[in-house]
Amino acid sequence: MQGLSGRVVLGLAGFSMTPRDRKADLATIRAGIEAGAAILDTARAYAQVDNSLYGEELAAEAANGTDVIVGTKGGHSRINADTWDADISAGRIRDDVESSLRVFGREQLDLYYLHRVDLADQPVEEGVAALAALRDEGKLARIGLSNVTVSELERATAIAQVDAVQNRHTAMGREADDVVAWCEANQVAFFAYSPLRSSIPAPRLAAVAAERGATLQRLQLAALLHSSPVVSVISGATRPQTALDSIAAEREPWTAELQTAYEADLA
């Protein structure tokens, strides 16, 4: 878990949904790294319709020559414009890891997740055993699970140690509080995805943001970072301005006033 928690991670999913300008996407990610982002989050599924490896290629190019950690994911890929599959069978996970190793041009990947434990037909035990075998072979430094329940985590960790969990967890919805508590108890890093995608209003945090001249989004990311020592947030910013603002959440002073405002908005 060391070095993984309490960070703002740059998530690359937003770069895959529409046709993209590769140069502009790389410039955004590089600006984020320059501003202090130490982790990138990508996946085999973050593909362009005409390039099944776009998301991983962007991460590989941006991370090249830096000490940035890259988390990527397998067992879920884009079939066409609107369809993605989910398969965490041992054979599929091995094939996806081998593909990612080729894209990154490395012998070992930093962090590799089963992307959609919730959608796959196979039991979590099959996928996690496949990841653990690849870690034992030295092909994966750390392994993670995404879109999992506490009960699946209990089953998975009966088979192998898990280094990271990635679930949807918005600052205002706090959908994964039970999974975060499990991660705290088991000292596993938790990555909150889609942290800003809640329609629940935050009027008190917004008022403090206006007083400070900060964005509400930055304060919401900071609120999650301060909610637990195991939590990191994955920001899906796709523009330099929003990427830099999100990364600044790591340095945002967290005061008693902010904590009170956040708790009042959550209540």
Ligand X SMILES: NC(=O)c1ccc[n+]([C@@H]2O[C@H](COP(=O)([O-])OP(=O)(O)OC[C@H]3O[C@@H](n4cnc5c(N)ncnc54)[C@H](OP(=O)(O)O)[C@@H]3O)[C@@H](O)[C@H]2O)c1
Residues making contact with ligand X (CB under 6 A) = 11-14, 41, 115, 146-147, 166, 193-197, 215, 217-218, 234-239, 242, 245-246
**Taking the alpha carbons of 59, 60, 62, 67 in that order, is the dihedral positive or negative?**
positive
Minimum separation from the CB atom of position 264 to ligand X (A): 22
Minimum separation from the CB atom of position 202 to ligand X (A): 13
Cβ-proximal residue to ligand X, closest one: 236
Element (H, E) at 41: strand 39-41
Residues 6 or more apart whose CB falls under 8 angstroms from that of 73 comprise 42, 43, 44, 45, 112, 113, 114, 115, 144, 146, 166
By C-beta, is 138 or 169 nearer to ligand X? 169
CA neighbor of 130 nearest in space, from 148, 110, 112, 116: 112
By C-beta, is 122 or 217 nearer to ligand X? 217
Minimum separation from the CB atom of position 170 to ligand X (A): 7
Minimum separation from the CB atom of position 234 to ligand X (A): 4
Minimum separation from the CB atom of position 146 to ligand X (A): 4
In angstroms, the Cα distances linking 129 to 67, 88, 110, 115, 119 are 28, 10, 18, 15, 18
Minimum separation from the CB atom of position 164 to ligand X (A): 11
Length in residues, the chain: 267
By C-beta, is 31 or 130 nearer to ligand X? 31
By C-beta, is 14 or 139 nearer to ligand X? 14
By C-beta, is 115 or 135 nearer to ligand X? 115
By C-beta, is 127 or 195 nearer to ligand X? 195
- What are the structure tokens assigned to 41, written together? 């989050």
| Bridge partners of residue 11, in order along the sequence | 41
- Do 65 and 106 meet the contact criterion of CB atoms below 8 Å apart? no
CA neighbor of 219 nearest in space, from 42, 32, 8, 40: 8
